């Protein structure tokens, strides 16, 4: 924008769907015009007969501040002198039928603390960022060949104050960041932080897409949180919800008295399953709004990635709808053609401006090439949540170990497609709510077996190709499912079993960070090879992870039954010595203490299609990592 008043070029690009920093043009911005300090307001409301600004500064009487329509397609503008930062405001709409509506600003950067619904004036300029070293390091880092272990967090319930109030962004910047660093995670993923009216929507039903929620502080406080994360070497990913929005009267629904951000056709607009409305991706101004919003979080808050929620609901017109409400596209199919084009344009634009961004699709479908570039026919994301792996593994782990031998394919099937996309393996909040039970309580058996089974799962997950994600509380074995109005059950750390689980996850995370074979070739087939996927009778799998250095390998054995095998033979590719690097059955983690002590020497006895083999102990319900040392290179298999 070349002037303080939106110019013709900005307006043209906005109405073409190509104004990718529309938050600089629309909304409320402190400014000085003609030597007078005040705030310039701009809003898109093409169906309104009149728009007025109301707020503290005019006692909520809009007659003093009518806006001027400055574009044929409905952008309104007004400069109001003497308005200061922190003041509340809304837009008073006179609809085509003469009805008065009072709407929060779609481009507001700050919102009134709930239950209030007004917008607040604030400048996002001038924060003294100290993350230059992080930004430089990120430009040289190759995400695909780097560790990525994500701690998923709902800030409202990670830890509350004794009186039940929320920790602030600044308090969390100290306590949460220190905890995540100590636990060995590389990234924090935050459930949506866009302003939302209802706590129990967890942020997934937003009203203020540009307004970081005021529950935990002001915009500068969230900047401080991100800055502290980066200072600690932790990336920040935020859940982002471009698929639908909430129907609250002060929000986007029928913003100027008629459908605007949503589809005009109610059959396409309604998200029946969630009681929300779909964005209309065929409207260029909505495309400008959403793509600008994605860029906004990278630009203004320095976040490192977006996890794009509910992609399946965007790809398909009839997602979650009863059959009698189904509609078809112009070609007779169920795909949402304009949403598909929006997704491609979104990813292309984000990577144009922020080449090192993480764009992660939460997609439950088998849509092909989700993480392929748009120019190669893909949707353009660089990561996709592996929902198939998650569903299969949790289904398998909930089985009584006695019956697991008959469902062995649930363990191994994911390897048939693990390189089809760039995957993140998620054990997310969605799996520990609505009666699904916590991860720990999903495990069958007695108390000991539950903890042992969960440690086994975590170890197997860490060995499986793909980046990792775990929802808060899972790291210490939260026994109850997530209570979305209360904080985590931190008092459980007073018990040995939960403290041992937390210690195991911390040690597992640190092994992951240190061992390049667990992440460097995550998305390339040469980074993985089976040793034995076939021992279904004993529910044991053995496999190898590799890095670009031939000598850098790990052998991983997972036993999914409570049976201890004192002498179990596994094939290995080279002669030499092997050591037990990590054992989830160790006594300090709450296990039975069946360890493989000292150096284990590979014998020249072919096994599992390998030229050498080891005899090991396989503990009950455990995952064990073995690392080769002092390999005899001239005897390494060339297969």
pLDDT digits (tens, 9 = 90+) for 244-269: 999 999 999 999 999 999 999 999 99
To the nearest 10°, report the CA torsion of 376, 379, 381, 385.
-120
Give the C-alpha separation, 601 to 583, whole Å. 18
Please check the confidence at residue 638 and state whether its pLDDT lies above 60: no
Mean pLDDT, residues 347-354: 98
The DSSP bridge pattern shows strands 149-153 and 187-190 to be parallel
Q: State phi, psi for 509 to the nearest 5 degrees.
A: -60, -40
124 vs 140, residue with greater confidence: 124
Classify burial at 563, counting beta carbons within 10 Å of its beta carbon; exposed 0-12, middle 13-18, buried 19 or more. middle
Please check the confidence at residue 551 and state whether its pLDDT lies above 90: no
Residue 140 lies in a domain: no
> What separation in angstroms does the CA of 440 have from each of 291, 309, 395, 494, 511?
39, 25, 14, 17, 22
Query: What average pLDDT does the chain have?
Result: 96
Residue 491 lies in a domain: no
Q: What is the CATH number of the domain that holds 80?
A: 2.60.40.10
Residue where one domain finishes, among candidates 325, 358, 385: 385
Please check the confidence at residue 2 and state whether its pLDDT lies above 70: no
To the nearest 10°, report the CA torsion of 274, 277, 281, 284.
-150
Inter-residue contact 520 to 145 (CB < 8 Å)? yes
Locate 162 and state its tokens.
């004794």
CA triplet 241, 174, 183: central angle to 5 degrees? 80
The pLDDT of residue 639 is 37
Give the C-alpha separation, 292 to 305, whole Å. 15
- The per-residue pLDDT for range 271-297, each reduced to its tens digit, is 999 999 999 999 999 999 999 999 999
- The per-residue pLDDT for range 382-427, each reduced to its tens digit, is 999 999 999 999 999 999 999 999 999 999 999 999 999 999 999 9
Report how far Cα 227 is from the mean position of its chain's Cα atoms.
19
| 171 and 290 both lie in a single domain | yes
- The per-residue pLDDT for range 120-134, each reduced to its tens digit, is 999 999 999 999 999
- Domain residues for 89? 8-120
| 111 and 205 both lie in a single domain | no
| 107 and 151 both lie in a single domain | no
The pLDDT of residue 499 is 98
Please check the confidence at residue 635 and state whether its pLDDT lies above 80: no
Among 556, 579, 580, CA closest to 630: 579
| 106 and 173 both lie in a single domain | no
Give the C-alpha separation, 512 to 459, whole Å. 10
Decide: helix, strand or coil at residue 578.
Answer: strand
The pLDDT of residue 3 is 53
Give the C-alpha separation, 431 to 469, whole Å. 12
Residue 103 lies in a domain: yes
Percent of the chain past pLDDT 70, that is, above it, reads 98
pLDDT band at 528 (very low <50, low <70, confident <90, very high): very high
The pLDDT of residue 633 is 55
Please check the confidence at residue 556 and state whether its pLDDT lies above 70: yes
Mean pLDDT, residues 53-71: 96
| 108 and 155 both lie in a single domain | no
Mean pLDDT, residues 66-77: 95
C-alpha dihedral sign at 605, 608, 614, 617: negative
Q: What is the CATH number of the domain that holds 583?
A: 2.60.40.1180
| 159 and 116 both lie in a single domain | no
Quick check: pTM over 0.85? yes
276 forms bridges with which residues in the sheet? Answer: 271
Mean pLDDT, residues 433-456: 97
The pLDDT of residue 245 is 97
- The per-residue pLDDT for range 590-620, each reduced to its tens digit, is 999 999 999 999 989 999 999 999 999 999 9
Residue where one domain finishes, among candidates 361, 385, 409: 385
Our count of domains for the chain comes to 3
Q: What is the CATH number of the domain that holds 170?
A: 3.20.20.80
Locate 156 and state its tokens.
């409202």
Report the catalytic residues: 309, 362
Inter-residue contact 280 to 242 (CB < 8 Å)? no
| 155 and 283 both lie in a single domain | yes
Please check the confidence at residue 32 and state whether its pLDDT lies above 80: yes
| 111 and 150 both lie in a single domain | no
Residue 217 lies in a domain: yes
């Amino acid at each position: 924008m070349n002037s303080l008043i939106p110019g013709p070029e900005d307006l043209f690009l906005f109405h073409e769907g190509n104004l990718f920093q529309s938050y600089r043009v629309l909304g409320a911005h402190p400014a000085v015009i003609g030597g007078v300090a005040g705030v310039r307001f701009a809003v898109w409301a093409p169906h309104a007969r009149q728009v007025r600004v109301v707020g503290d500064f005019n006692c909520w009487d809009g007659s003093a501040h009518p806006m001027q329509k400055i574009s044929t397609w409905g952008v309104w503008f007004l400069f109001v002198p003497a308005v200061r930062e922190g003041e509340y405001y809304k837009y008073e709409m006179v609809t085509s039928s003469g009805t008065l509506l009072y709407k929060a600003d779609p481009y507001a950067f700050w919102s009134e603390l709930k239950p209030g619904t007004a917008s607040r004036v604030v400048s996002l300029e001038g924060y003294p960022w100290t993350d230059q070293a992080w930004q430089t390091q990120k430009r040289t880092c190759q995400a695909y060949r780097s560790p990525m272990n994500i701690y998923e967090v709902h800030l409202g319930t990670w830890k509350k104050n004794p009186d039940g109030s929320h920790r602030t962004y600044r308090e969390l910047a100290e306590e949460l960041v220190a905890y995540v660093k100590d636990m060995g995670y590389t990234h924090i993923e935050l459930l949506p932080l866009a302003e939302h009216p209802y706590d129990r929507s967890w942020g997934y039903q937003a009203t203020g897409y540009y307004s970081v929620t005021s529950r935990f502080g002001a915009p500068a406080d969230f900047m401080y949180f991100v800055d502290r994360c980066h200072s600690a070497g932790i990336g920040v990913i935020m859940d982002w919800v471009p698929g639908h929005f909430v129907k609250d009267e002060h929000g986007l629904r029928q913003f100027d008295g008629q459908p605007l951000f949503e589809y005009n056709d109610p059959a396409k607009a309604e998200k029946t399953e969630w009681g929300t409305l779909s964005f209309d991706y065929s409207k260029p101004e909505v495309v400008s709004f959403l793509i600008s919003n994605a860029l906004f979080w990278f630009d203004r808050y320095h976040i490192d990635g977006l996890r794009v929620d509910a992609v399946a609901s965007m790809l398909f017109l009839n997602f979650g709808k009863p059959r009698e409400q189904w509609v078809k596209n112009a070609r007779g199919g169920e795909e949402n053609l304009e949403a598909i084009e929006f997704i491609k344009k979104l990813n292309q634009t984000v990577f144009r401006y922020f080449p090192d961004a993480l764009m992660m699709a939460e997609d439950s479908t088998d849509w092909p090439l989700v993480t392929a570039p748009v120019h190669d026919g893909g949707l353009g994301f660089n990561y996709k949540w592996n929902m198939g792996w998650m569903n299969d593994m949790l289904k398998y782990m909930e089985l009584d170990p006695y019956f697991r031998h008959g469902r062995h394919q649930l363990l191994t099937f994911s390897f048939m497609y693990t390189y089809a996309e760039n995957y993140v393996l998620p054990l997310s909040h969605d799996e520990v709510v609505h009666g699904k039970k916590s991860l720990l309580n999903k495990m069958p058996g007695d108390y000991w077996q539950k903890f042992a089974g969960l440690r086994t799962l975590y170890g197997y997950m860490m060995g499986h190709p793909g980046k990792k994600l775990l929802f808060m509380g899972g790291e210490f074995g939260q026994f109850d499912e997530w209570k979305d109005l209360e904080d985590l059950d931190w008092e459980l750390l007073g018990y040995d079993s939960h403290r041992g689980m937390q210690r195991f996850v911390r040690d597992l995370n640190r092994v992951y960070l240190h061992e390049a074979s667990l992440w460097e070739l995550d998305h390339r087939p040469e980074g993985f090879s089976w040793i034995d996927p076939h021992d279904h009778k004993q529910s044991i799998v053995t496999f190898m992870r590799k890095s670009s250095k031939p000598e850098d390998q790990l052998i991983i054995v997972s036993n999914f039954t409570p049976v201890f095998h004192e002498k179990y033979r596994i094939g290995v590719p080279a002669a030499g010595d092997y050591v037990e690097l990590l054992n989830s059955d160790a006594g300090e983690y709450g296990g039975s203490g069946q360890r493989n002590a000292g150096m284990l020497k590979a014998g020249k006895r072919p096994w599992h299609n390998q030229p050498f083999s080891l005899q090991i102990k396989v503990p009950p319900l455990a995952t064990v990592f073995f690392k080769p040392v002092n390999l005899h290179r001239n005897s390494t298999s060339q297969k």
